[in-house]
Chain A
Amino acid sequence: MSVDPRTSLQTVEREVKACEEFAKMYEWDLSSIDIEAQKFTVTMKCPVDDSIYIISIQFDDYREKPLLIDFIDPNTGEIGTVNAYPGPCKGSVGGFFHNQGPCICHPASRKAYGELGGPHKQDWDMSKWELIPQTGSIKDICRMLRAIWSRISDPEVYGGRMHG
């Protein structure tokens, strides 16, 4: 399956616009969209320990496929390293940031699927990501970013930076 890049771009532009107020409220820094590479970044400063988290969002074939979400190490610029990620959350809210991959372990995160080395090999069907029960309401860019923020901005939940 393949989504016309123009369609994906229009969807992403709409979803990013819907995020503007939250970005302003939480002081996220949204990069401009690299149209050719079909990606952009969102930089968040964790208010708990001032750590910088740079989220890379790639949107080829979106929304047929979920977003390819990764983190970029703010010190080295490497993408997808353990040190780039927030660590597992404290308390009952559990994982979400998974060290296998590493990845955001959620159906709305392409990297969570076995095809890309994620922990979910047979139980999740990427082509039906929006219908997987664990997706919940996190079905667009803004809600994913807010979910990430909710886990790094709360001292009772934030587990620090992931370590190898």
Chain B
Amino acid sequence: MPRNDNELEIYIITGITPEPVQRTYLKTTKVQEVIDDIVQLYNLAKDGKYKLEKKDESGSSLKPERPLVSYDIKDGDVLVFTDMGIAV
């Protein structure tokens, strides 16, 4: 079934599974919502510290409040999800 033009199919490397996980989001989905989705998908700690980056731009965290479309993220793009560790 063809996808809606307002949707993005992206791949997220988490390290939790050997292969990236494929997810579909609205283009307007906020980065934080993507993070929350992965946290829920893998039952991670809700009070953890997580970040999302473009695969080829290590060190540049996507800002949680911005929508995916604002980063020019396209179908097939690969993001990297990292658990930064809870600082104690």
Where the two chains meet, the residues of A that have a C-beta atom closer than 8 Å to any C-beta of B are: 18, 22, 25-26, 47-48, 89, 92-96, 105-108, 120, 133-134, 136-138, 142-144, 146-147, 149-151, 153-157
> Is B27 on the interface with A (CB-CB < 8 A)?
no
> Is B86 part of the contact surface with A, judged by Cβ < 8 Å?
yes
Count B interface residues, CB 8 Å.
Answer: 21
Residues of chain B at the chain A interface (Cβ within 8 Å): 15-16, 18, 42, 44-45, 48-49, 51, 55, 58-61, 82-88
Contact check, A95 vs B59: say whether CB atoms are below 8 A apart: no
Q: A96-B85, A106-B86 are in contact. Are A133 and B45 (CB under 8 A)?
A: yes
- Contact partner, B83, options A48, A95, A143, Cβ 8 Å: A143
- Contacts A89-B87, A147-B83; is A137 near B59 (CB within 8 Å)? no
**With A22-B15, A48-B59, A154-B60 as contacts: A93 and B87 at CB distance below 8 Å:** yes
B88 A134 Cβ-Cβ under 8 A: yes
Q: Which residues of B contact A47 (CB under 8 A)?
A: 58-59
Q: Is A95's CB under 8 angstroms from B87's CB?
A: yes
Q: How far is the CB of B65 from chain A (nearest CB, A)?
A: 13
Known: A93-B49, A94-B49, A157-B84. 11 other contacts (CB 8 A): A18-B15, A26-B58, A47-B58, A89-B87, A95-B87, A133-B45, A134-B88, A136-B85, A137-B16, A137-B44, A153-B59
Q: Shortest distance in angstroms between A155's beta carbon and chain B's nearest beta carbon?
A: 7
Instruction: Return 19 A-B CB contacts under 8 Å, by A number.
Output: A18-B15, A25-B55, A26-B58, A47-B59, A89-B87, A105-B88, A108-B85, A120-B88, A134-B86, A137-B44, A142-B15, A143-B15, A146-B15, A146-B83, A150-B51, A151-B85, A153-B59, A154-B51, A157-B84
